[in-house]
Amino acid sequence: MDGVIAAGAAVGAALGSLGYVVGRFMLWPVGRYRRLKGEIGRVLDGHAPGEPLPPESRERLRRLAVTLAGCDAADLPLWYRRALQRRGEDPGAAVSLLQRLAGTPDPRAAARTSGRIRGLLGLPQGPEGSGQGPPSAS
């Protein structure tokens, strides 16, 4: 009977350890990336089209760019990075555009950059439409 209990405890410990490893190195990083992507989308949606980005949004974009750079390079499992490539997403390229957007005072350039970021992260187009800036009055 003691052998059965010991074997059960060993199997339980092994399964628990396996669950931790799968969660820590496969599921949590993917969830973190998806939450980060959603946060970037909310910041991009949070300003009026045709208006310059407010200073607090610029600072938030800078911090999100740094976080995205770390998330992309270190955390994401290889199988998920390949899935992102198949979907046409490129978080690494989005990092430099996020940093550029944070420093762009021109609303038209900001709208174009925002559209490109959305494309690189697979985000839907926001209130600024195609990312080409506000329509011109004719």
* Residue-wise burial string across 79-90, b where 16 or more C-beta atoms lie within 10 A, e elsewhere: ebeeebeeeebb
pLDDT over 50 at 137, yes or no: no
Check if the beta carbon of residue 116 is closer than 8 Å to that of residue 40: no
Mean pLDDT calculated for residue range 1-7: 82
pLDDT over 80 at 99, yes or no: yes
Mean pLDDT calculated for residue range 102-129: 86
Note the pLDDT of residue 24: 67
Q: How far is Cα 55 from Cα 67, in angstroms, rounded to an integer?
A: 19
Note the pLDDT of residue 73: 64
**Selection from 33, 47, 45, 31 nearest residue 90 by Cα:** 33
- 29-38, 54-63, 66-75: lowest mean pLDDT where? 66-75
Q: What is the largest CA-CA distance in the chain?
A: 87
pLDDT over 70 at 131, yes or no: no
pTM listed for this prediction: 0.77
